[in-house]
Amino acid sequence: MAFQKRDALLFLDTDVFWQSTCPKASFYFLKDENMKNKMKKLALTALTAAIFLVVFEERAYPTASTHIWAPSTDTQDYGTGHITADVYIPVNKNADGSEANTITNTGLTFGILPFTKFRAEVGLDYKTGYGDLDSYPIYFNAKVAIPEDAYSPYFPGIAVGLYDIGTQPNQTNFNIIYGKAAKTIKVKDLSLGRFSMGYFWGNRDLLLDGDGNKDNRGVLAAWERTMTEISDKLWICVEYQGTRSGYGSTNLGCSWQLTKSTSILAGYEFYNNLNFADTI
């Protein structure tokens, strides 16, 4: 079965430190008559996240392992992690008039290496909204990385990883493998932002274009910047993931940091395959 598209997001994002693991809760506030049951589960997630925030905010750690959609060169710090509870919402119908799926994703990713110049994280996701694939909802991910400036002021951040490693052969084993490098560019004291570039490969039998042909590899690119001229709390990003499979899209997003451990991020996705509805 070909990969069904994911959708963009609007969420509240929380990073908190907790002993050897650091939950990062992402919870959503939506208005959709077809999502009442899902909202009950999300409300419980939000309550749990709020408790974490109140108790552990003073020891918060930042940084998720993606930009808006695609993986970044960032990893969770050793002994920290993030719990994710996402809802991805289509803004209209697909080109053929069919309803686009609403996707939910709950997961945990955490840092596992105590080194400053070589880092790693592992995690899993529980996804629903893919029809028959919901019978196999578990997907795994992992990443190793060298942070930016680890060995010199000119050294880029480098990451190699994999994600959406499913448990059912020929159905959910999308098996995305990627490599990516990133560097923050400055002109004197002015930051031009961080530029990322990479490449990915996936399961050729599942990553298909709109005509059913294999389209399982492509470019990863992103630009991101904290808009310090306006506020240190404002972050913006533009990113791209190649192919006309369900993974391919151009994404725009921004976030506002409410506290050290809480931020709101809004994103919009333009799919490379025009048969898919854009999402927000």
- How many CA atoms, within 13 angstroms, populate the side-chain half-sphere of residue 131? 11
Tokens of 184: 């923050």
Condensed to tens digits (0 to 9), the pLDDT of residues 92-143 reads 888 888 888 888 888 899 999 999 999 999 999 999 988 899 999 999 999 9
User: For residue 38, which phi and psi values (nearest 5 degrees)?
Assistant: -65, -35
Rounded Cα–Cα distance for residues 253 and 160 (Å): 24
The model carries a pTM of 0.76
Condensed to tens digits (0 to 9), the pLDDT of residues 21-74 reads 333 333 333 344 444 444 444 444 443 343 333 333 332 223 347 888 899 999
Tell me the CA distances in angstroms from 7 to 88, 107, 114, 117, 246, one per residue in order: 4, 16, 34, 34, 9
Rounded Cα–Cα distance for residues 48 and 99 (Å): 32
Tell me the CA distances in angstroms from 150 to 37, 153, 169, one per residue in order: 46, 8, 38
